[in-house]
Amino acid sequence: SASTMAEGGINAALCNVDRDDSWEKHFEDTIRGGAYLNDQDLVEVLVKEVIDRVYELEEWGAVFSRLDNGLIAQRAFGKQSRRRTCYASDRTGHEIVTTLLEVALDLGIEMLEYHYASKILVSSDRVGGAVIWNVRGWEPIVVKAKAIVLAAGGASQIYEITTTPAEATGDGMVLALDAGAVLKDMEMVQFHPTGLAWPEAARGQLVTEAVRAEGGILLNALGERFMSKYAPDEMELAGRDVVARAIWREVVEGRGTEHGGVYLDITHIPCERVRERLESTYRFLLQLGVDMCRDRIEVIPTAHYFMGGVRIDVNAATDVKGLYAAGEVASGVHGANRLGGNSLADALVFGRRAGASAASYARSVGYASIDTNAVRLEIERVENLFRWREGYSISYTNIRKRLRETMWRYVALVRRGEGLSKALSEIEYIKHELLPRLAVNDGRHFSLAALRTLECINTVRVAEVVVRSALIRTESRGAHYREDYPHTQSEWLKHILFKLDRGALIHFFEPVKITRINPPR
């Protein structure tokens, strides 16, 4: 789970440090940080309910870092007007996931390990079940279900350099799209400013924003603290989109380090504090030969998070009856740029809402009929991947490398129409010429290659939506920066959405939901 890798914290206006904080201020920071593309009805739910979710975690046994007075500690994070990020040292996500896992085990919830869902079955416009596979031997199982909750994370593995686990391949987004749901804001991909530039084996891995929150500064190869040129008030704690592009600019203009990044320096902070507040990061870097108490860390921007995803309402419901989505797989909360500390908040708040909504819906309906023809076609689709033809078939590794390099080159931090068109042409070639030849050159027993092959197909499909959406949005907003359209345009304050119509992608637009803050004109 990517959640276990979330190191920084969870935003909630507990007011333990800054007494004048409030959910209203959290709301304002989130909307402004998202360049006003957030759906404000979703954000209002987030900032109000996350407070109870944090205390609920505490009741369930989550161990947060503490202030001297015993209250949950909170620190500053980027683009936030108050210190509201609650944390458990620098392993907050791990603490939350292990706590929730223990609760689930205590409740006796059945979990299917080593299983993969390849298709959601829909009948009469509502969920009927799913086709899943036991990857131990790749045997298909048809599961009937009245309701399904998608919590499958994002798709940053479409990029060559990323913080995310190998499974972040957009599977949930493709499942939803094929079931009849709508994808929204897919051009909005966040690049975290500080991924490791070196050593090569760890390139792109996350160096948490907490390092900057605890006083870390960014320096170029000349030793200049360059954020003063780009965000003189917020400096290193400006929005992630601003900091990431500033690093990109320094490198492009020749002020980068030996390994194509910049320096993140926290050597001026007492080592005892670094080791206490950033324990996991300190130990991780030490294993790579970097002592952050004495050494500067070389960092580069790295693909980190999808603001885009499945369209949901305030109850986490998608456009398909009985299908719900929460966390990074869903869209609407974060707008054009996510604030650090809001992803765990999002997952907790809308995860709970999705579960409650799904349970309520399931109690109110019977099982839908299963389309046996759809089941047969899906099983045939996956089974065909095991038919390797020597001299014709190709492995997922060929396609994955080609796609990720293309996306990093043309569809990363800085985009241009010409480059986006090249990326789309490459994706069309992969779709029509390479995907039909894709096969698994491996046995069925615990075949990781089969899993990666199915994920590879999904990455190509997600990448196409990202590129098409980025081509349509002829402005710059938040994480989406078009060098050929560098300004934010008020007429583009709208969502770009995609759905399938008889198997073909079509796009349409939708206004942003505004409840409290009117965007500037």
Q: Is residue 519 part of a domain?
A: no
C-alpha neighbours within 13 Å on the C-beta side of residue 339: 36
Q: So what's the pLDDT on residue 5?
A: 60
Rounded distance between C-alpha atoms, residue 501 and residue 180, angstroms = 9
Rounded distance between C-alpha atoms, residue 194 and residue 298, angstroms = 9
Average pLDDT, integer, range 380-398: 94
What tokens appear for 161 in the block? 């350099």
pLDDT grade for 6, boundaries at 50, 70 and 90: low
Note whether 50 and 168 are same-domain residues. Answer: yes
Nearest residue to 134 via CA among 450, 501, 487: 450
pLDDT at 513 over 90: yes
Note whether 38 and 155 are same-domain residues. Answer: yes
Note whether 103 and 250 are same-domain residues. Answer: no
Looking at the 3D structure of the chain, how many domains does it have? 3
Note whether 348 and 403 are same-domain residues. Answer: no
- CATH number, domain of 10, equals 3.50.50.60
pLDDT grade for 198, boundaries at 50, 70 and 90: confident
Q: Is residue 255 part of a domain?
A: yes
Which of 280, 302, 324 delimits the end of a domain?
Answer: 302
Q: Is residue 369 part of a domain?
A: no
Q: So what's the pLDDT on residue 444?
A: 82
Residue whose entry in the numeric block shows the structure tokens 């390479």: 434
pLDDT grade for 273, boundaries at 50, 70 and 90: very high
What tokens appear for 117 in the block? 């869902």
Q: Is residue 374 part of a domain?
A: no
Q: So what's the pLDDT on residue 222?
A: 96
Note whether 280 and 339 are same-domain residues. Answer: no
Note whether 395 and 430 are same-domain residues. Answer: yes
- CATH number, domain of 249, equals 3.90.700.10
What average pLDDT does the structure give for the chain?
95
- CATH number, domain of 416, equals 1.20.58.100
Tens-digit pLDDT profile for residues 172-193: 999 999 999 999 999 999 999 9
Q: How far is CA 394 from the centre of its chain?
A: 29
Q: What are phi and psi of 291, to 5 degrees?
A: -100, 100
> Count of CB atoms within 10 A of residue 314's CB?
16
End-to-end CA distance of the chain: give it in Å, rounded. 40
Q: Please name the helix (run of DSSP H) or strand (run of DSSP E) that holds residue 451, with its range, or none.
A: helix 448-472
Q: Percent of the chain having pLDDT more than 70?
A: 99
Q: So what's the pLDDT on residue 297?
A: 95
Average pLDDT, integer, range 378-396: 94
Q: Is residue 144 part of a domain?
A: no
Q: So what's the pLDDT on residue 4?
A: 57
Note whether 76 and 175 are same-domain residues. Answer: yes
Tens-digit pLDDT profile for residues 37-96: 999 999 999 999 999 999 999 999 999 999 999 999 999 888 899 999 999 987 898 999
Catalytic residue among 84, 91, 240, 311: 240
Cβ atoms 442, 508 nearer than 8 A = no
pLDDT at 368 over 60: yes
* Helix locations, 365-395, DSSP H: 372-384
363 noted as active-site residue: no
pLDDT at 130 over 70: yes
Q: Is residue 378 part of a domain?
A: no
Note whether 92 and 33 are same-domain residues. Answer: yes
pLDDT at 3 over 80: no
Rounded distance between C-alpha atoms, residue 444 and residue 137, angstroms = 5
Note whether 296 and 311 are same-domain residues. Answer: no
Note whether 94 and 199 are same-domain residues. Answer: no
Tens-digit pLDDT profile for residues 226-245: 999 999 999 999 888 899 99
Rounded distance between C-alpha atoms, residue 502 and residue 183, angstroms = 16
pLDDT grade for 1, boundaries at 50, 70 and 90: low
- Residues making up the chain, counted from first to last: 521
C-alpha angle 348-350-354 in degrees, rounded to nearest 5? 120
Note whether 183 and 101 are same-domain residues. Answer: yes
Cβ atoms 331, 185 nearer than 8 A = yes
Q: Is residue 508 part of a domain?
A: no
The domain in which residue 97 lies consists of 2-111+150-188+307-364
Under DSSP, the state recorded for 200 is: G
Note whether 313 and 332 are same-domain residues. Answer: yes
Rounded distance between C-alpha atoms, residue 280 and residue 456, angstroms = 31
CA distances from 23 to 15, 31, 45, 345 (A): 10, 12, 10, 13
Q: Is residue 135 part of a domain?
A: no
Tens-digit pLDDT profile for residues 394-439: 999 999 999 999 999 999 999 999 999 999 999 999 999 999 999 9
Which of 302, 317, 347 delimits the end of a domain?
Answer: 302
Kindly report the pTM of this predicted structure: 0.93
pLDDT at 21 over 70: yes
Tens-digit pLDDT profile for residues 204-220: 998 988 899 899 999 99
